[in-house]
Structure 1
């Protein structure tokens, strides 16, 4: 089991309901359900009984909760010790991502990190967006957030989190009647993507290219807000991560549709130079990303 699974079990028990656990962990309902299923699959037994819409710990769940308190307590102690160890260090982390939508969640996360590490400046290099790995190799940035690891021996990729991508369509679109869409459905629509080349676009990498399917039309539009407005006007569909859509889903004009029965997931990584002597606060920053960002 992973730390995030232990946090989910602990939050559900402490908060007394899934709804309050969702608020505490800042997860979507589907993300929490997915993590709980992952936890139960990994232990090989149910963690909760579902009784009258309530979750009650099974005997296995009681043991998991007990170990969760112990492990998370040790982790909190370790983090406190590390913070005290490096708290006096002064440094800088130059960061970039491969996607502009990541900047929706980065500022809030960076504020939380700076509260714990006030002497470490984290700067975002916007110019390196869409090409963070070459900029990392050339020394223009120190860390890159990417979902596209490459077989580059000079780099190492540390797993951060998984996020689900969904199709965004206007209200009344035929897809809203479907529980999910498949690759073949995209052959009939104008697909709006943020950037080229296509081999770096997740929906092509993981779905369309393997199925040998091309959209009826392809529109490249790097601005998320403009893409959303085209969708509202029924001029295309866009595929985006659930968390990136949060600012827009209050609109009654938009709907989301799952992609494939299992969902379209991608793994996010922190990329850094291999065999490089980084200060301790770099490792702390990567761990902070992996633990604090949950969708």
Structure 2
């Protein structure tokens, strides 16, 4: 029978590179670990490693069980943590991953009341998963994914929480203020400021410039939203951001916005959950706050459950 510690051995050896290192990490002697591996191979009737010269390489069965270990062990570790938290009278952890650079300010409007309502839940926001959030969700590194680009994948449920329009942000001094809406060719003489991600993941390229076979005069990566807006306000470039964000900063910066194309680019922010966990009360509570955030009521979508 395949047991949890068998999968843990495979995963440790793969991550650490040797049985010696794995035995130390698991607080076992190397001989005890080797004995456990041999006994397990006898039970399943096939070797997990084969020697190639001086190297030990996984067999086909070994590769298969390693993939199982990488999929199941994080789930079991997460379940252990949730149950331990419940046993201590705590609700658990809520780790939120961001796949949306400009959504941080929106997220704060949700997290602030959530922390007051759920003091027993430990909340953490992780921004390192830019456009890699699905893998983080599957590997249990995060519990909720905030993204404008949901993927139809088994085991994950996405809920739209608000609609928004992606617009071009320009300085009050820009010649583009004369336009009612922006054409792709209008950007051919502009410096386009954008977040440091692949261009095909940027809506201004995928839905606007690339179909028209147009490129800006210059593309400049800027990671921080505030710096990006300051550069635009100084007429050192233009950028594409959600209209709601631009409307918030227009009170303090000399900025305007124009639709990208006559019909504009319309998007939705979604929250992604692993199926089954969106039934946890503290997870559901976060979703309900997101759906009723008053700062976004003017751009709310019709929610289909």
Q: TM-score, normalised by structure 1?
A: 0.64
Q: 123-132 or 161-170, which moves further after superposition?
A: 123-132
Q: For residues 203 and 103 of structure 2, what CA distance do their matches in structure 1 show?
A: 14
5+ unaligned residues in a row in structure 1: which ranges?
1-87
Q: Deviation string for 1:228-256 (max 9, x for gaps)?
A: 22223322101111232345312453222
Structure 1 vs Structure 2 CA RMSD: 2.2
Distance 1:136 1:226, change over 3 A: same
Equivalent runs, 1:48-197 vs 2, <5 Å: 90-197=91-198
Q: Deviation string for 1:79-103 (max 9, x for gaps)?
A: xxxxxxxxx8623211021123211
Q: For residues 212 and 154 of structure 1, what CA distance do their matches in structure 2 show?
A: 37
Q: For residues 112 and 276 of structure 1, what CA distance do their matches in structure 2 show?
A: 21
5+ unaligned residues in a row in structure 2: which ranges?
1-88, 300-305
Residue of structure 2 equivalent to 1:205:
206
Residue of structure 1 equivalent to 2:289:
288
Are 2:100 and 2:148, in contact at CA under 8 Å, matched by a contact in 1?
A: no
Q: TM-score, normalised by structure 2?
A: 0.62
Q: For residues 278 and 109 of structure 2, what CA distance do their matches in structure 1 show?
A: 28
Distance 1:252 1:98, change over 3 A: closer
Q: What is the CA distance between 1:275 and its match in structure 2?
A: 4.9
Q: For residues 234 and 115 of structure 2, what CA distance do their matches in structure 1 show?
A: 41
Equivalent runs, 1:14-53 vs 2, <5 Å: none
Q: For residues 91 and 139 of structure 2, what CA distance do their matches in structure 1 show?
A: 23
Q: For residues 252 and 287 of structure 2, what CA distance do their matches in structure 1 show?
A: 34
Distance 1:154 1:90, change over 3 A: closer
Q: Deviation string for 1:178-220 (max 9, x for gaps)?
A: 1111222222311110121112112222222222222221111
Name the SS for the 1:208 alignment partner: helix
Are 1:163 and 1:267, in contact at CA under 8 Å, matched by a contact in 2?
A: yes
Distance 1:93 1:252, change over 3 A: closer
Q: For residues 124 and 169 of structure 1, what CA distance do their matches in structure 2 show?
A: 30
Name the SS for the 1:262 alignment partner: coil
